[in-house]
């Protein structure tokens, strides 16, 4: 189906094309000058001491878990309400993902539930920063310290988001940010892994590059794989990073317009934004009654929406973990009521007005 308003749209202009032309002319297609520049920009922007690129966020999480030696027999705590890749990356190490519920207001991991999920096999906690703000990292770090656990931050959606002045992904032992097509800045596919720990950085470097410290040699001191990006992607990444402030501004304006147009509609419940976090809107996320009917109605108006995450404990691929259907009621409610509306930089004021008046029409007709 073709939509009048799509859920996502990258914010590209002449600057990505210029960089891509340059990359092609220089002949560097695998990691080269743009990769170096992109990596430096990301370190400066996030304040991370060390960083490595990875080919996507899912593999960046997998790489991070490998770098802190998570393996079969271990357990890693992860919120029940996140994209499946958070838990899949854990499962692919051979470890067991252990789910905890989320808070009803902000839909982030409920940090008061983490300690109950800790067993003698727990090795790490994976907090996930979703929908453009951070989760509350102080309690996560405190619990991790008390129980000698590592913290791997899934900041896939967290580019530009700061928790108490620190960029998401730089607070735990290791963290990653995704540059997938719907993310705040995009390279199509791609990600960065951040750490302040030199040992973890050295492991990341070996693991991502065939078990050798740098390319150009056929001697591999360790086993590794290929988690590299291309210079073409990084050429786009450099242009995108330079545009972050503009992207942030447009998305904040779009979010404000939705709030203004929908404020008199009692059916719409916006997700709470925490004082401890900055907010770089990642979709407009609301809880609504009559979700499925509303989504169908908006589809007919040519508006592409998304439901929120299907809780991990109900995912067919994790049925062997034997969770019960009514475990994690908050995550379940978020799925039953949660809808994401488009917020991309291609939206005009009139588009947002059209989306909001379509929602108003739907409830007026009920
Ligand atoms: C919370 C979360 N974790 C992990 C991922 C995986 O990232 P990628 O799509 O780059 O593999 C995503 C993204 O799509 C995500 O939203």
Instruction: Answer whether residue 7 is part of any domain.
Output: no
Expressed in angstroms, the distance from the first to the final Cα of the chain is 26
Instruction: Answer whether residue 333 is part of any domain.
Output: yes
Closest CA to 38 of 174, 190, 157: 190
Same domain? 150 vs 255: no
Report the SS3 class of residue 213.
Answer: coil
- Count Cα neighbours of 144 within 13 Å in the Cβ-side half-sphere: 21
- How many structural domains compose the chain? 2
Q: What is the CATH number of the domain that holds 291?
A: 3.90.1150.10
Same domain? 187 vs 268: no
Locate the ligand 1 atom nearest the alpha carbon of residue 128 and give its number: 1
* Domain membership of residue 69 as a residue range: 14-100+107-242
The residues, ordered by sequence, that sit 6+ positions from 315 with a Cβ below 8 Å of its Cβ are: 84, 87
Q: What is the pLDDT along the chain (366 residues), one digit of tens a residue?
A: 689 999 999 999 999 999 999 999 998 899 999 999 999 999 999 999 999 999 999 999 999 999 999 999 999 999 999 999 999 999 999 999 999 999 999 999 999 999 999 999 999 999 999 999 999 999 999 999 999 999 999 999 999 999 999 999 999 999 999 999 999 999 999 999 999 999 999 999 999 999 998 888 899 999 999 999 999 999 999 999 999 999 999 999 999 999 999 999 999 999 999 999 999 999 999 999 999 999 999 999 999 999 999 999 999 999 999 999 999 999 999 999 999 999 999 999 999 999 999 999 999 998
Instruction: Answer whether residue 313 is part of any domain.
Output: yes
Same domain? 232 vs 300: no
Task: Locate 257 and state its tokens.
Answer: 């317009």
Q: What is the CATH number of the domain that holds 225?
A: 3.40.640.10
Q: For residue 234, how far is its CA from the centre of ligand 1 (angstroms)?
A: 18
Instruction: Answer whether residue 123 is part of any domain.
Output: yes
Same domain? 250 vs 187: no
Instruction: Answer whether residue 9 is part of any domain.
Output: no
Residue at which a domain ends, from 205, 227, 242:
242
Residue at which a domain ends, from 216, 242, 268:
242
What is the value of pTM for the model shown?
0.97
Question: Mutation test of ligand 1: which of 63, 65, 83 has the most ligand atoms closer than 8 Å to its C-beta?
Answer: 83
Instruction: Answer whether residue 273 is part of any domain.
Output: yes
Same domain? 233 vs 351: no
Ligand 1 within 6 A of CB of 83? yes
Place of tokens 């032309």: 21
Q: For residue 283, how far is its CA from the centre of ligand 1 (angstroms)?
A: 14
Phi and psi (nearest 5°) for 54? Answer: -140, 160
Ligand 1 within 6 A of CB of 178? yes
* HEC assignment per residue over 143-203: HHHHHCCEEEEECCCCCCCEECCEECCCCCCEEEEECECCCCCCCECCEEEEECCHHHHHH
Question: Is the CB of residue 214 less than 8 Å from the CB of residue 194?
Answer: no
Same domain? 181 vs 328: no
* HEC assignment per residue over 126-141: CCECCCCCCCCHHHHH
Same domain? 284 vs 164: no
Residue at which a domain ends, from 208, 242, 276:
242
Closest CA to 182 of 328, 36, 300, 7: 7
The residues, ordered by sequence, that sit 6+ positions from 178 with a Cβ below 8 Å of its Cβ are: 56, 57, 60, 156, 157, 190, 191
């Amino acid at each position: 189906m073709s939509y009048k308003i799509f859920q996502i749209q990258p914010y590209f202009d002449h600057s990505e094309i210029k960089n891509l032309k340059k990359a092609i002319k220089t002949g560097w297609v695998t990691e080269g000058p743009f990769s170096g520049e992109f990596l430096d920009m990301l370190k400066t922007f996030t304040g991370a001491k060390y960083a490595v690129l990875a080919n996507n966020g899912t593999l960046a999480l997998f790489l991070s878990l490998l770098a802190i030696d998570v393996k079969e027999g271990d357990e890693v705590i992860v919120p029940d309400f996140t994209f499946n890749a958070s838990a899949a990356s854990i499962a692919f190490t051979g470890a067991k993902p252990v789910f905890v519920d989320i808070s009803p207001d902000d839909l982030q991991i409920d940090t008061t539930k983490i300690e109950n999920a800790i067993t003698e096999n727990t090795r790490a906690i994976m907090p996930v920063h979703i929908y453009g703000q951070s989760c509350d990292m102080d309690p996560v770090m405190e619990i991790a310290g008390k129980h000698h656990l590592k913290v791997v931050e899934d900041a896939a959606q967290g580019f530009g988001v700061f928790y108490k002045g620190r960029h998401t992904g730089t607070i735990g032992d290791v963290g990653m940010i995704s540059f997938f097509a719907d993310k705040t800045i995009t390279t199509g596919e791609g990600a960065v892994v951040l750490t302040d720990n030199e040992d973890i950085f050295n492991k990341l470097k070996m693991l991502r590059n065939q078990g050798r410290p740098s390319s150009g040699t056929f001697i591999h001191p360790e086993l590794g794989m290929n988690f590299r990006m291309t210079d073409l992607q990084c050429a786009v990444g450099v242009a995108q990073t330079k545009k972050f402030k503009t992207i942030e501004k447009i998305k904040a304006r779009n979010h404000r317009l939705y709030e203004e147009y929908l404020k008199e509609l009692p059916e719409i419940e916006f997700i709470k934004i925490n004082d401890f976090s900055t907010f770089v809107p990642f979709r407009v996320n609301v809880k609504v009654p009559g979700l499925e009917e509303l989504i169908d109605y908006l589809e007919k108006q040519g508006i592409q929406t998304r439901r929120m995450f299907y809780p991990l404990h109900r995912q067919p691929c994790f049925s062997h973990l034997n969770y019960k259907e009514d475990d994690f009621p908050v995550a379940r409610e978020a799925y039953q009521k949660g809808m994401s509306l488009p917020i991309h930089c291609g939206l005009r004021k009139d588009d947002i007005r059209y989306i909001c008046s379509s929602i108003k029409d739907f409830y007026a007709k009920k």
